[in-house]
Amino acid sequence: MDDYYDLGGYSRAVTTDSPRAQVWFDRGLLWRYAFNYEESVRCFRRAVEHDPGCAMAHWGIAYAYGPYYNRPWDDFTAGELTDTLADIRAAIDTAVGLAAAATPVERALIRALAQRYPVVSDPSRDVFRAWEDAYATAMRAVYAEFPDDLDVCVLFAEAMMNRTPWDLWDLDGGVPAEGADTLETVAVLEHALRLDTQADPPNPGVLHLYIHAMEMSPHPERALREADALREAAPDAGHFLHMPSHIDILCGDYHAAVVANDRAIAADRRYVEREGAFNFYTHSRCHDYHLKLYAAMLLGQYEPALRAAVEMADTIPEELLRTATPPMADWLEGFVPMKLHVLVRFGKWREILDEPFPDDPELYLITTATLHYAKGVAHAVLGRTDLAAEDRKRFEQALARIPVRRKFFNNRYTDILGIAARMLAGEIDYRNGEFDSAFTHLRAAVELNDILPYDEPWGWMQPPRHALGALLLEQGRVAEALEVYETDLGLAPAATRAAVHRDNVWSLLGYVECLHRLARHDDAARAQHRLDLALARADPELRVSCFCRLDAPPQEACCPVEEATGCGH
């Protein structure tokens, strides 16, 4: 067992006479806290092999198979539900039968979990909310009896969060969402954190859930200490290593987010070398690359962003996308075209036009639509608006073929690409001299972006305000551009905290330029030190908030047409 993954030293002693069963139970619990349910189930089954009479090992199987914050009931297919519920009920029934030999807290946990999976011959999706409510209520009673048990705190908080996954906070109002147990969840986790200061090593489940509980709040920085603690809690659990970057991004520490995800990628590379890519955890592995490239883009670093995008696509075998149960294309295909967003972000118009379309457009629905969008933007910026208009038509046709079930974390991809539709329309109208119409489209893109359901990283890869501000500046509408940049940087109250990109180099460039052009030179001087810090890590050719801006400072061009259009190569 010595060559197994290093998950840190946290242990929950359970009723067993087998040291090996205890080890495998701990591993199963930690993997489940890290949202790797498949490896968690395997570990709990190994615990059962070593001690078939360990009630908590059977409890663990039932717990691991169930829904969790990143995969609620609605994301299970009908076939998965049938098989999963059969496995869960077999495990929980066995745990109940063995509970007499367990400790009081173990018996309480087993009874509570049984409330989550009542026997129903043909469960409909309407009953799942009732199941989650019943489980949260049962865990509330367990917590009342055992409030100083760290794992009881974790399991109760998670039960409350799973009632309203990714809907803990009202982003617009900065208050708890209606019907959610947000404040109680935070209180339970903060109580656990006080207990955890006495634990060595710490319980990574507490740290993980606290980050999720606070990231949508008006004050995600409250979870910075927990993020720092989680960075070192479990060296081979990639998702734990990744999670601090959720807070890093929201606090404007994009470099820390890149570093965190580099470590997560390395850990998950060790996992995939042993377990392969044909598992649901590939979704979490892709998330590491995804957030890294997003953070690198906000840093203004082309090569790291591109490398993350390419490596991410390479880690998704086409055979995996063709898996029907669970429908992996619905979960994973959206990662494939991320390279295109990097190319648009950094004005790589030639590379975009050279990109080939997928051989199977019916499998790669999102990739096909995104490539039509990217080629349309490239043609528009290069002044070829007739070709851009053709790209736009093909984009709209491709978008219409994407089913609503094809998602990207918490967002439907049809909604995400609705932003692309507005961005492309705005770029084309702008190049045709129809500036009012162009800005109407770009402002609509901003609004659509702001109302996307929360995701980290955000569902749309390039903040639309960066293009809007750049083109407003180009047209001399400096005061309007300043307001756009202030909002993006969090210096104005118009955007939700989650839609703000603090100290990102792109908006800082536009912001300082606006201040100078408005003769607010003292304000510009005060902002310059923040821009200097951002530029110190950014690519040297960055001069504007979007390479779509045609009057950008001159760059070393690679061809006459690109020199005339501010290519940025």
- Residue 289, in any domain of the structure: no
Q: How far is CA 179 from CA 73, 164, 184, 309, in A?
A: 18, 8, 12, 38
Query: Residue 483: in which H helix or E strand, if any?
Result: helix 478-489
Q: Could you tell me which residue, 493 or 475, shows the higher pLDDT? A: 475
- Contact between 332 and 282 under an 8 Å Cβ cutoff? The reply is yes
pLDDT per residue over 169-183, tens digit each? 999 889 999 999 999
Q: Model-level pTM greater than 0.75?
A: yes
Query: Residue 478: in which H helix or E strand, if any?
Result: helix 478-489
Q: Could you tell me which residue, 198 or 509, shows the higher pLDDT? A: 509
SS3 sequence of 296-308: HHHHCCHHHHHHH
- Contact between 492 and 483 under an 8 Å Cβ cutoff? The reply is yes
Averaged confidence pLDDT in the chain: 94
- Name the residue range of residue 535's domain: 463-569
Question: In CATH, what number is assigned to the domain containing residue 59?
Answer: 1.25.40.10
Same domain, 17 and 133: yes
Same domain, 394 and 479: no
- Residue 439, in any domain of the structure: yes
Q: How far is CA 187 from CA 149, 290, 476, in A?
A: 15, 31, 50
Which of 146, 162, 191 terminates a domain? The answer is 146
- What's residue 569's pLDDT? 30
Output DSSP code: residue 180.
Answer: -
Total domains in the fold of the chain: 3
pLDDT per residue over 87-105, tens digit each? 999 999 999 999 999 999 9
Same domain, 411 and 504: no
- Residue 21, in any domain of the structure: yes
pLDDT per residue over 496-545, tens digit each? 888 899 999 999 999 999 999 999 999 999 999 999 999 999 999 999 99
Cis peptide bond N-terminal to 317, omega within 30: no
Banded model confidence at residue 493, pLDDT cuts 50, 70, 90: confident
Helices 55-65 and 19-33: angle between axes, nearest 10 degrees: 20
Mean pLDDT of 331-343: 98
- Residue 182, in any domain of the structure: no
Mean pLDDT of 214-226: 97
Helix, strand, or coil here: 203? Answer: coil
- Please give the angle made by the CA atoms of 336, 458 and 241, to the nearest 5 degrees: 80
- What's residue 2's pLDDT? 67
**What is the token pair recorded at 366?**
């999102």
Same domain, 423 and 480: no
Does pLDDT of 160 surpass 90? yes
Q: Output phi, psi for 216, to 5 deg.
A: -90, -5
- Contact between 127 and 145 under an 8 Å Cβ cutoff? The reply is no
pLDDT per residue over 438-453, tens digit each? 999 999 999 999 999 9
Same domain, 389 and 424: yes
Which of 90, 123, 146 terminates a domain? The answer is 146
Does pLDDT of 567 surpass 60? no
- What's residue 234's pLDDT? 97
- Residue 491, in any domain of the structure: yes
Same domain, 23 and 130: yes
- What span, in angstroms and rounded, lies between the C-alpha atoms of 246 and 208? 11
Residue type, 99: A
Q: Output phi, psi for 544, to 5 deg.
A: -135, 165
In the chain, the percentage of residues whose pLDDT exceeds 70 is 96
Query: Residue 175: in which H helix or E strand, if any?
Result: strand 175-176
Which of 448, 475, 504 terminates a domain? The answer is 448
**What is the token pair recorded at 11?**
């242990």
Same domain, 415 and 512: no
- What's residue 121's pLDDT? 66
SS3 sequence of 6-55: CCCCCCCCCCCCCHHHHHHHHHHHHHHHCCCHHHHHHHHHHHHHHCCCCH
Same domain, 488 and 399: no
Q: Which residues contact 115 (CB under 8 A, 6 or more apart)?
A: 131, 134, 135, 137, 138
Nearest to 294 by CA among 533, 500, 120, 463: 463
**Location of structure tokens 């470099």:** 255
Same domain, 441 and 487: no
DSSP symbols for 336-370: TTHHHHHHHHTT-HHHHHHPPPPS-TTT-HHHHHH
Same domain, 44 and 129: yes
Question: In CATH, what number is assigned to the domain containing residue 496?
Answer: 1.25.40
- Residue 248, in any domain of the structure: no
- What's residue 566's pLDDT? 40
- Residue 306, in any domain of the structure: no
- What's residue 198's pLDDT? 75
Same domain, 425 and 473: no
- Residue 506, in any domain of the structure: yes
Nearest to 539 by CA among 393, 291, 319, 347: 347
Same domain, 406 and 486: no
Does pLDDT of 215 surpass 80? yes
Banded model confidence at residue 561, pLDDT cuts 50, 70, 90: very low
Helix, strand, or coil here: 68? Answer: strand
Does pLDDT of 155 surpass 70? yes
Q: Could you tell me which residue, 81 or 210, shows the higher pLDDT? A: 210
